[in-house]
Structure 1
């Protein structure tokens, strides 16, 4: 049994698709855990490890956790590690509208999605973390209703569609796909042999 340390059902479903066959997964919501970790790290890696260790020690389960976000060069990396907490009580459409407003007079629109994926085994005190990214640019408007979060304003390099317009195609190139694919390739022996 593996705990995916999120209550976000969209993120849970996205991460679950990367888990190798034969491994049963549960979410924080499935376990009725409502405690929040203060994600006050200065990097995605720090926040991802903090989350995995917190929930692993609490449940005594093997955990995978991630911290991910949108990094915009013209805004000095904003929202970055604050992506989920930026305008916390607002929905993502409103967040995206504010970011697009901040970008109105910016010619440079380079951005990237970053994901740090962490595995933690509280029994063996094993921590393995992988960070990956996908480079791209910001769209000029919200486009598409697929995915979640900031997907409808991010256009990955080599494409003319946003993640929000891609659907299934996104799952083969995303930052989360890259990070969790790498993580599970490192973990095969650990998870399957226990």
Structure 2
């Protein structure tokens, strides 16, 4: 079965491909459509993307919206994670967040991912969430991964995702947990099948 990934982020597409079951073929979407994420939650944005891209290409799609939520900053940057300081490199975004947190001892944070599947042929939609709890480092550490990985230390580790790399991240990350849950449910209800 071919499912299209509703993302123009090559890192994200590759990460999801590494999580997907072997019998599911994932392809990037090749369309000029640019979906505006107007939702107030990760789930709303994930659903918006899945519906818009699915209706555009008329094939099954998966979409996600994910980001970093920091407790002492009231969940910031949250759904604005990718759009925070839009256009700036992530090193500058991370430096800005570390500056905002300079006077806080509470470093608790989580990565959140909402993953959505939409099949426009049957009008079937399913959305799930995955989380990984952790803390914000005091400095940028590591050059693996992407986005905010070099400042996020998952619980149970003393290294950031930027130091741990994809071998660990693809097992415990928010995206891994959300998409494993999504594919498992799709298999259980027969929306995708072993071939």
TM-score (ref. length: structure 2): 0.95
Rounded to whole Å, the distance in 2 between the matches of 1:34 and 1:87 is 24
Runs of 4+, deviation exceeding 4 Å: none
Deviation (angstroms), 1:108: 0.9
How many residues align? The count is 191
Measured against aligned partners, the alpha-carbon deviations of 1:46-78 in whole angstroms (never above 9, x if no partner) come to 000110000000000100000000000111110
Gapped runs of 5+ residues in structure 1? none
Corresponding residue for residue 133 of structure 2: 135
Partner in structure 2 of residue 101 of structure 1: 99
**Over the residues paired in the alignment, what is the CA RMSD in angstroms?**
1.2
Task: Report the 3-state secondary structure (helix = DSSP H, G, I; strand = E; otherwise coil) of the residue aligned with 2:23.
Answer: coil
Match of 1:72 among 66, 70, 73: 70
Partner of 2:193: 192
* Partner of residue 34, structure 2: 36
TM-score by length of 1: 0.95
Secondary structure (helix, strand or coil) at the match of 1:191 reads coil
The separation in 2 between residues aligned to 1:124 and 1:35, in whole angstroms, is 22
Task: Give the aligned partner of residue 117 of structure 2.
Answer: 119
* Cα deviation, residue 23, structure 1: 2.2
Instruction: Write out per-residue CA displacement over residues 146-167 of structure 1, whole angstroms, 9 at most, x where no aligned residue.
Output: 1100000000111100010011
Stretches of structure 2 that go unaligned for 5 or more consecutive residues are: none
Aligned with 2:65: secondary structure?
Answer: strand
Q: Work out the CA distance in 1 between the residues paired with 2:39 and 2:61.
A: 19
Deviations 1:5-49 (A, max 9, x none): 111110000001122113222112xx2x23221111111000001
Alignment of 1:1-194 (within 5 A): 1-28=2-29, 31=30, 33-167=31-165, 168-188=167-187, 189-192=190-193
1:192: how far off?
Answer: 1.7
Contact map agreement 2:19 2:170 (CA 8 A) in 1? no
Question: What SS does the aligned partner of 1:71 have?
Answer: strand
Q: CA deviation at 1:111?
A: 0.3
Contact 2:66-2:114 at 8 Å conserved across structures? yes
